[in-house]
Amino acid sequence: MPKLAYFSVTGQTRRFIAKLPHIESVEITVTNPFIEMDEPFVLVVPTYVSEVMEPVNDFLETGDNTRLCMGLFGGGNRNFADLFCFTVHDLEQQYGLPVLHEFEFQGSDYDVQKLESELDRMSQKTKRV
Ligand SMILES: Cc1cc2nc3c(=O)[nH]c(=O)nc-3n(C[C@H](O)[C@H](O)[C@H](O)COP(=O)(O)O)c2cc1C
């Protein structure tokens, strides 16, 4: 089963991840962004200006992390209109990673299901490799 890696500034994304207690997750922090993943994972990140998101770039550029990242879940706030979840789209452009889903704040039941089903789908795929 692929794992989760996430970044959170005000705690919303952390609360979203906590809704999947059965999935192993690692938190990227400002003080420790250089975590080396050793299995495929999904990256879940909120939306902020690029300066705030620098730890996520550091994380993706650590070890084999970009290659092992299976896709992106973006958290944001629809009040930002055209800027809703722009961070995951920037990361898609920068690192060629697919955006799998966008959600608001700590995610709804639907968003949790969506993450579970993506992880399931990926574990089927990685088993076949
Ligand atoms: C200063 C600031 C700027 C933000 N800018 C955006 C934005 O441009 N687009 C967006 O979709 N959400 C934006 N958000 C909303 C956050 O990305 C959203 O609330 C997210 O769930 C926060 O996750 P976190 O609590 O894990 O940091 C912004 C929030 C703050 C506080």
The average pLDDT across 73-95 equals 98
pLDDT digits (tens, 9 = 90+) for 8-48: 999 999 999 999 999 999 999 999 999 999 999 999 999 99
Confidence of residue 128 (pLDDT cuts 50, 70, 90): low
> Locate tokens 């999935």: which residue?
23
Kindly tell me the burial class for residue 31, based on how many C-beta atoms sit within 10 Å of its own C-beta (0-12, 13-18, 19 or more): exposed
Rounded Cα gap, residues 45 and 11, in angstroms: 11
Judge if the beta carbon of residue 95 lies within 6 A of ligand 1.
no
Domain of residue 44 covers 3-128
Q: What is the CATH number of the domain that holds 99?
A: 3.40.50.360
Cα(38) to centroid(ligand 1), Å: 29
Q: HSE of 121 in the Cβ direction (CA atoms, 13 Å)?
A: 10
Domain count, the chain: 1
Judge if the beta carbon of residue 12 lies within 6 A of ligand 1.
yes
